[in-house]
Chains A and B, each alone.
Chain A
């Protein structure tokens, strides 16, 4: 999920850049050198995971996974997402340099929020964990869509049409991400619980 080049105004681009820089700095501070390989290889896995297309009726959507990134990496999501976006623009030309900051905020802020809101829930042993996982997938995409709409709206009030379309278009994606998160988290808890931060089997 990203905003294209050339759309946003100077103030929005700059504040996005500043926020992204701050978030990335915090994220880097929280990762010590022993965890770098772990975060790096996992963000490679997220990069590949976001290439997965799932069917929805006659069409298909690709996974966004920022909720999962948040649940697994916490604050590390900020640098991981920034790097994934840089790689996407280098390898596929999705966006360029100027929107990098804004796009990082759009994806990473919801990821960190999910880490704090849904993280404690998924560690529970009851069915609350499934609710937490669903919320993690759903909420992260929803918040991303809202942030994206906000960035468009602050650039130009007349963008409301496009902004509303963005949120509407992502509604099915939110539901799918929620369902995928539920299954994925329950799978990870069974197969490799050490991957979840602060989770004791």
Chain B
């Protein structure tokens, strides 16, 4: 089941102006992705962990979401130190563990975890509809936002459709295996999903036209500038300035 687990909640972060959150999450992520020095990365990691607290995220759910990252990290920690060229610091038979490889793995892990945590804390705590309208206000093209909102709206409907089809083939005794019949069944299931989506889209479009749609979605909720937003902006600007300073002016 697809769910927006973090979007429902009431915390300081949830109440901040979404525009502020989008802007600072983006700045912070790019800064981290472009940094290479360990003091910067540790500091960024610290900041992103701290962000989780005011956002009041469910720690178990957050951990579950980091699990996909975990497998990838496991892979690079196993491959990179061995395939990298550099100084050998440990030798085990034919395998030589290289220092540069280990350093790179550590950098990648710190960057990836920091970026994902800040993303969870600032962006996943936002209703996706709100995000759409926020992007529009941050001058992302209206058509793209429109497409984004429709896609988001229909993911849940189509998923239900998918579940129905899935139940139908299960009831008829289908068991997925590695054979042509299984692939054919999956392909037809997929095809049916597209057909139903396409027919539904026609109905949706007609319904929208009937209601006077002329190419624009209106947002009803507005956020007023408040002291909280200002304080948050000041803190984040200071944090980003510090990180930039640590990265580019090493003491």
A42 contacts chain B at the CB level, 8 A cutoff = yes
Q: Is the CB of B150 within 8 A of A54?
A: no
- Scoring B4, B68, B154, B199 by chain A CB atoms within 10 A of each residue's CB, the highest score goes to B154
B95 contacts chain A at the CB level, 8 A cutoff = no
A89 to B176, CA, bound (A): 28
Q: Is the CB of B155 within 8 A of A47?
A: yes
B158 contacts chain A at the CB level, 8 A cutoff = yes
CB closest residue in chain B, given A157:
B85
Q: A4-B112, A7-B108, A98-B30 are in contact. Are A55 and B146 (CB under 8 A)?
A: no
Q: A37-B150, A41-B198 are in contact. Are A48 and B155 (CB under 8 A)?
A: yes
Q: Is the CB of B2 within 8 A of A5?
A: no
* Contact size range, A: 35 or more
- Near B by CB (< 8 A), chain A positions 19-36 give 24-25, 28, 31, 33-34, 36
The smallest beta-carbon distance between A61 and chain B, in angstroms, is 11
Partner of B187, one of A10, A43, A179: A179
The smallest beta-carbon distance between B237 and chain A, in angstroms, is 18
B120 contacts chain A at the CB level, 8 A cutoff = yes
Q: Is the CB of B202 within 8 A of A57?
A: no
B43 contacts chain A at the CB level, 8 A cutoff = no
A38 contacts chain B at the CB level, 8 A cutoff = yes
Q: A40-B151, A158-B85 are in contact. Are A45 and B158 (CB under 8 A)?
A: yes
Q: Is the CB of A39 within 8 A of B147?
A: yes
CB closest residue in chain A, given B203:
A37
Q: Number of B residues contacting the other chain (C-beta, 8 Å)?
A: 90
A95 to B19, CA, bound (A): 21
Q: Is the CB of A91 within 8 A of B80?
A: no
Majority DSSP secondary structure for residues of A touching B: helix
Partner of B29, one of A36, A63, A97, A179: A97
Q: Is the CB of B143 within 8 A of A44?
A: no
Partner of B80, one of A42, A53, A161: A161
Q: Is the CB of B151 within 8 A of A93?
A: no
B8 contacts chain A at the CB level, 8 A cutoff = no
- Scoring A38, A47, A48, A191 by chain B CB atoms within 10 A of each residue's CB, the highest score goes to A48
The smallest beta-carbon distance between A163 and chain B, in angstroms, is 10
The smallest beta-carbon distance between A190 and chain B, in angstroms, is 9
CB closest residue in chain A, given B208:
A37
- Near A by CB (< 8 A), chain B positions 146-193 give 146-155, 157-159, 161-162, 176-178, 180, 182-184, 186-193
Q: Is the CB of B108 within 8 A of A41?
A: no
- Scoring B159, B162, B189, B193 by chain A CB atoms within 10 A of each residue's CB, the highest score goes to B193
A7 to B202, CA, bound (A): 42
Q: What are 23 A-B contacts defined by CB distance under 8 Å?
A: A6-B109, A6-B112, A6-B113, A10-B33, A36-B205, A37-B208, A40-B150, A41-B151, A43-B151, A48-B162, A49-B194, A52-B189, A52-B190, A53-B176, A54-B186, A65-B190, A93-B68, A98-B115, A99-B33, A158-B101, A162-B76, A180-B183, A195-B194
* Nearest 9 Cβ contacts at the A-B interface: A6-B111, A40-B150, A183-B187, A161-B83, A6-B112, A187-B191, A45-B197, A44-B154, A41-B201
What would 9 more interface pairs be, CB under 8 Å, given A42-B197, A47-B155, A52-B162?
Answer: A6-B108, A8-B33, A40-B154, A44-B151, A44-B157, A52-B189, A55-B178, A96-B116, A188-B194
